[in-house]
Amino acid sequence: MDAIAIDFETANERRDSACAAGLAWIEDGRVVRRETRFIRPPELRFSPGNIRIHGILPADVRDQPNLPDAMAEFLPDLSDRLVLAHNAGFDMGVLAASLAAWGKAVPAVQYLCTLRVARHVFPDPAGCGLAKVAARLGIRFEHHDAGEDAYACAEIALAAMRETGAARVAELPRLLKMPATALPGRDLPASEIARPTASRALLAGQEQQKAATDLRFSVRGSTGNRYEIVLEERSFGLYLRCDCIAGRHRRRCRHVDAMIDGDVTDLLSGNLGDVERLRIRILASDALVEPSRTGAPVALRRQFGFA
């Protein structure tokens, strides 16, 4: 097989926060296989800006495998052929950081940045971002879906192959005098593999999260009003209270639903980590109750599928 294109989406500003991966395999001058995987990052902290870009929520990846498990079947392919990525420094950094975060060795990879290729083969004053190049070349795809972005990256490489007269995509580095960049493999010390930094921090953080009972959130309502959500300990158990009109009438509201689902799109208070602490607190409690749609208290664990 000739080459493989890869793309990652991240949960926040950290390179080890991969939440989705997309891959597209190239053989005989065409894309022959595509795959997309959701990934659970070490910390379920999603920045609102990232959510606005790719639309992935903590609830979407909560039960998904971590990056080493999600990528295990694909890692050999990355070492055996030319890897393509648009703005490759970012994607290769995500791959290396996310593997290291879980104490896994980084495979030796030879990669080529299709952003650089596009600037050389398809220069344009408007720029060579993935969507712009794809539009100029007539490549149709859904931007910021990892699998779709990997496909677009592969198609850009194929277009460059045809434009330069290369027989294979893997010949582009030589023809363009643009040597592939090496991501050197790295074996971690046994001590790091046994206790990787991110997973150790995650476990320690979860222990602290279980002890948290006073969690507060400020959220934006549909009309722009600011509402406060507070996790309280009452005589009948833990209670998630919102001061919107529905909440004041002991009815479960969409603001509470959003916090339970990990949707921080309308979160104003900025305490993203507390959204995950809330989930851990719910899982740790046998007595968490919340008003139902009719006003009667019901167990949140059961109501939201945690039981």
pTM of the predicted protein model: 0.69
Note the pLDDT of residue 285. Answer: 65
CA–CA distance, 158 with 172 (Å, rounded to integer): 10
Note the pLDDT of residue 1. Answer: 63
- Strand stretches in 186-302, DSSP E: 216-220, 226-234, 237-242, 288-291, 297-299
**What topology does CATH give the domain 3-202?**
Nucleotidyltransferase; domain 5 (3.30.420)
Q: How far is CA 286 from CA 31, 105, 281, 299, in A?
A: 50, 40, 10, 8
Main-chain phi, psi angles of 80, to 5 degrees: -95, -10
pLDDT tens track, the chain, 307 positions: 699 999 999 998 899 999 999 999 999 999 999 999 999 998 888 888 899 999 999 989 989 999 999 999 999 999 989 999 999 999 999 999 999 888 898 888 999 999 999 999 999 999 999 999 999 999 999 999 999 999 999 999 999 999 999 999 999 999 999 999 988 765 544 444 334 444 444 444 444 444 445 789 999 998 899 999 998 877 767 788 899 999 988 888 989 888 877 777 788 887 877 887 887 777 776 544 555 444 434 445 433 433 3
Q: Are 91 and 150 in contact (CB under 8 A)?
A: no
| Strand pairing report for 30-38 and 3-10 | unpaired
Note the pLDDT of residue 55. Answer: 93
Task: Tell me the β-bridge partners of 215.
Answer: none
**Nearest alpha carbon to residue 241 among 305, 307, 297:** 297
Q: Spell out the domain ranges in the chain.
A: 3-202, 213-303
Q: Taking the C-alpha atoms of 106, 110, 113 and 116 in order, what is their torsion angle to the nearest 10 degrees?
A: 140
Q: Amino acid letter at 157? A: A
| 149 HSE (CA, 13 A, CB side) | 24
CA–CA distance, 29 with 18 (Å, rounded to integer): 29
| 84 HSE (CA, 13 A, CB side) | 32
CA–CA distance, 278 with 19 (Å, rounded to integer): 20
- Strand stretches in 159-206, DSSP E: 181-183
